[in-house]
Amino acid sequence: MKTPLNEKYAVVTGASQGLGKEFCIELAKRKNNLILVSLPNQNLEEFSDEISEKYNVKTDYFETDLSCDANLIELTNWLNANYEIHILINNAGIGGTRNFDEVDVNYINNIIQVNVKATSILTHQLLPNLMKQSNAYILNVSSMAAHTPIGYKTVYPASKSFIHSFSLGLASELKDTSVSVSVVNPGAMKTNPDVTFRTEKQGFFGKITLLEPQKVAKYSIQKLMKKERLIVVNPLMWLLTILLPSRIKVPIMTRILKREVGNA
């Protein structure tokens, strides 16, 4: 017997702030029950209750650090044991702008663990649950940086390039199943004052690429429901990023980021 739609849940990682928070709000507006996943001590319980009350949907939450493999397995075991999942949004991600020779091993490891491993393992462990549904959706959040190697970010664009490739490959693999896979490549967003300040510090280029997370979330969910594999929220920047050869765009982006770290 099929699970009633009102008993299925959408899972959103990185749900406590920024784009993840807006994904939750947009899904709740569409009457999706939600499971919010984020780091501890991010007021996740309060946000979960707020969404439930405001939009009259069922919510639950799970606080954990996705940089730990054991936590990923604990989370997915809990989800599979208790919920029917029909939407998975792998939004959690970390980055940073630093001199590569000055970072420590944990900085590198955390980016790879959260951006690459968490997305891969969560998708793998929840896929049987998703495939039980008549229609299910996976949305992975990549970045415009996936198409441009950038000095002073180095590991982050490489990790987002993985997400882009992983998503399109999996979408092709699952094309004859009930699960559709989409990937969105937003640019910088006004997720908090610090991010906005650092992006605007990049100059004119940074200012014109800043996006509103509410608009990105709404547009992404619309396209996700239409089963579009590649979701482009800033067509002009995407086109420039794709068309410009690396010998031109990599030095340009590196110079812009150099100002952000204060080396200019």
* Alpha-carbon gap, residue 4 to 193, rounded angstroms: 41
CA distance 188 to 241: 14
Whether the pLDDT of residue 254 is over 50: the answer is yes
Q: How many structural domains does the chain have?
A: 1
pLDDT at 206: 52
Using alpha carbons only, give the angle 226, 213, 20 rounded to the nearest 5 degrees: 75
Q: For residue 16, give its domain range.
A: 5-260
Task: Exactly one of 156, 207, 215, 258 is catalytic; name it.
Answer: 156
Query: What pLDDT is recorded for position 108?
Result: 96
3-state secondary structure of 180: strand
Token digits of residue 40 = 């501890």
pLDDT band for position 188 (cuts 50, 70, 90) = confident
Averaged pLDDT score across all residues of the chain: 89
Residue 96 is predicted with a pLDDT of: 85
Burial category of 9 from C-beta neighbours within 10 Å (exposed 0-12, middle 13-18, buried 19 and up): buried
- Write the CATH number for 149: 3.40.50.720
Residues 260 and 200: their CA atoms lie apart, in Å, by 9
The SS3 of residue 38 is: strand
Q: Is 175 labeled as catalytic in the residue annotation?
A: no
Res 234: pLDDT: 84
pLDDT band at 118 (very low <50, low <70, confident <90, very high): very high
Structural contact between residues 76 and 66, judged by C-beta atoms closer than 8 angstroms: no
| Rounded CA separation 222/5 (Å) | 18
**Closest among 70, 83, 67, 105 to 11, alpha carbons compared:** 83
To the nearest whole percent, how much of the chain has pLDDT over 90? 70
Residue 184 has pLDDT above 60, yes or no: yes
Tens of pLDDT, residue by residue over 199-253, are: 555 554 555 567 889 999 999 999 999 999 999 998 877 787 877 777 887 777 7
pTM of the model: 0.88
Higher pLDDT, 89 or 190: 89
Among candidate residues 170, 92, 164, the one with its CA nearest the CA of residue 127: 170
Q: How many residues does the chain have?
A: 264
Amino acid letter, 137? Y
In this predicted model, what pLDDT tens digit does every residue of 81-99 receive, in sequence order?
999 999 999 999 999 889 9
Quote the pLDDT of residue 245.
75
Q: Report the relative pairing of strands 136-141 and 179-184 from DSSP bridges.
A: parallel
Determine whether 156 is an active site residue.
yes
Quick one: DSSP state of residue 101? G
Question: What are 33-75's pLDDT values in tens digits?
Answer: 999 999 999 999 999 999 999 999 999 999 999 999 999 999 9
Q: 169-176: list long-range contacts, CB under 8 Å, 24+ apart.
A: 170/123, 170/138, 171/229
Which of the following is catalytic: 21, 117, 160, 249?
160
Predicted confidence at residue 152, as pLDDT, reads 86
d(CA 96, CA 107) in angstroms, rounded, equals 9
Q: Which two tokens stand for residue 248?
A: 């031109």
The whole-number pLDDT of residue 1 equals 37
User: SS3 for 11?
Assistant: strand
Which residues are bridge partners to 136 per DSSP? 179
Both tokens assigned to 90 = 């792998």
Task: Give the C-alpha separation, 80 to 131, whole Å.
Answer: 12
The pLDDT of residue 5 is 60
